[in-house]
């Protein structure tokens, strides 16, 4: 029986499959439209996300929402946002490979329900896990790769742009390229 996102979310709230569950306030399952053609995958919850149970609600999230709005996308209308890991890593460290490997099963279930046409990997962690283990954001950002009929693209993480605003224009070009790809494929958003 295929589950809907709410049923999956309820099961995920009780997950204790890795040690990250010990430090969490909330599971950050994901947010957005269940029928979205565009799915964004970040790294993992930070402090604000952990407290609110929502992805990308801190400073990074505000910048992400601005990029989305600039290309007629939003989590309220036509995008679904999730992370590689659903629980906050301590002190915002990178999620460990084994944590990602365990948590990716939840993401696979989300993919099955949402069936996105385009997946944007927001930052190195998800790009390396979902596109290519040696993915280099500075060299490969903005390129679309077909994986079994779904297009994957990696771009700069907004936190990296906040640290180094020189990357903002390059990142913006990636979001414009996404808009073009949506048009090219005739995806109705």
Residues that bind ligand URA (CB under 6 A): 42-46, 49, 55-56, 60, 83, 123
For the chain, the farthest-separated pair of C-alpha atoms sits apart, in whole angstroms, at 48
- Give min distance, CB of 99 to ligand URA, in A: 14
**Helix, strand, or coil here: 72?**
coil
The CA-based angle 30-184-124, given to 5 degrees, is 40
Chain center to CA of 149? 19
Residues 53 and 30: their CA atoms lie apart, in Å, by 8
User: For residues 25 and 180, which CB has a smaller minimum distance to ligand URA in the complex?
Assistant: 25
Q: How far is the CB of 94 from ligand URA (least distance, A)?
A: 10
The residue number whose beta carbon is nearest to ligand URA equals: 42
Give dist(CA 38, CA 122) in Å, integer.
Answer: 12
| Cβ-based nearer residue to ligand URA, 53 or 116 | 53
Closest approach of ligand URA to the CB of residue 59, in Å: 9
Name the minimum Å distance from CB 185 to ligand URA. Answer: 26
Residue with tokens 């990357």: 167
- Smaller CB separation from ligand URA, 2 or 93: 93
């Amino acid at each position: 029986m295929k589950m809907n996102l709410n049923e999956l979310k309820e099961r995920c709230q009780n997950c204790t499959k890795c040690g990250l569950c010990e430090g969490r306030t909330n599971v950050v399952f994901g947010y957005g439209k269940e029928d979205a053609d565009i799915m964004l995958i970040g790294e993992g919850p930070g402090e604000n996300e952990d407290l609110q149970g929502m992805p990308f609600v801190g400073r990074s999230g505000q910048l992400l929402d601005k990029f989305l709005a600039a290309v007629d996308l939003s989590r309220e209308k036509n995008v679904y946002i999730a992370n590689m890991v659903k629980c906050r890593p301590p002190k915002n460290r990178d999620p460990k490979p084994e944590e990602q490997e365990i948590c990716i099963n939840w993401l696979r279930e989300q993919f099955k329900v949402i069936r996105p046409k385009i997946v944007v990997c927001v930052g190195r962690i998800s790009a390396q896990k979902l596109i290519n283990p040696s993915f280099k954001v500075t060299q490969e950002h903005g390129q679309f790769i077909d994986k079994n009929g779904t297009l994957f693209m990696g771009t700069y993480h907004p936190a990296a742009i906040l640290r180094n605003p020189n990357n903002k224009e390059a990142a913006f070009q990636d979001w414009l390229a996404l808009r073009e790809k949506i048009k090219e494929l005739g995806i109705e958003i």
